[in-house]
Structure 1
Amino acid sequence: MNSASGLGKDRSVTFTYETSEQGVRRVLQSMRAWLATMGLDEDFCGTAEITLAEVMNNVAEHAYHGEARDTALLKLRLTPEGCEFDLTDQGEPMPGLSLPTGQLPTLVGPRAELPEGGFGWFLIRTLSDRLTYTRENGANHVHIRLPFTHG
């Protein structure tokens, strides 16, 4: 279990990253290293990495159609309750200007016909306790909070 006791009022960092697979990979490594230097355990660091990898890879793949043509921002802030992540990009908006519901795909049928994707938003919603999306002035904003404790 992580604890944020003893944290100063504003424990935060901002990363700028290229909206490509390599850019996402690099910023995830930097984010995980920063969380570790802040004293967060491997379990929490891994949860943060998996959650952000799902969101950021979706941005690279869908908002930018797999083209590394821009940069995006990732802001992290530690609070007594958890870690807040704010992601901002200038890519295409979310369909319907809302986050996917995160419902699991149907897992019935022959193995060869089972879906390969469709699990990411379910995972993100399961691991976070706060998740919002807004589109303002041509920019997408996703806010996620991962709590230090679940349940």
Structure 2
Amino acid sequence: MQKLINRTRIGTAMDAIAQTKAAQWIGRKSLWVYTQLPELVAYGYAFLYMYTGYDKLYNLETFIDGNSKIPLVGRYAELIGWGIPTLEILLAVLLVLPFLKLKKIVLWASVVLMGIFTIYLAMMLALVPDRLCHCGGVIESMGWTTHLIFNLLWLGAGIFAIRKLKKLYF
């Protein structure tokens, strides 16, 4: 196949395109975006947690009432009702601080929290007919399968960011 490409005008055109300044610029910018992805993921987590944490605190009574109906968790509804949104907002604030060592630790905590949320969603999807979700805002209005996929994507992005931060800075 390579011989065919080399003998045709396609190969010559591809070589000419690869050598243009525009292609080199796109290559440099793509590399820059790739190296910035861990930071973008951290800011994405910060936005996500600030949004859901604020919404849970804004609708605190509903959040606590909903948690009280969940088996095994219901007796801790008040603690969870205040604790989860506070933790989310704290993680969001810490993720935007410019201290890399702190950012890595907080990103780990964020990914673990997202993992816990994802396990909860998967268990609810598999085991419970009356599913309760109090994630807040638009995320709460997602279907259960969509919500699980959304969480899995964020979980994967967080793991990717942690691995890249380790390779880039440590």
| TM, length-normalised to structure 1 | 0.33
Structure showing greater Rg? 2
Point out the structure with the larger strand share.
1
Point out the structure with the larger helix share.
2
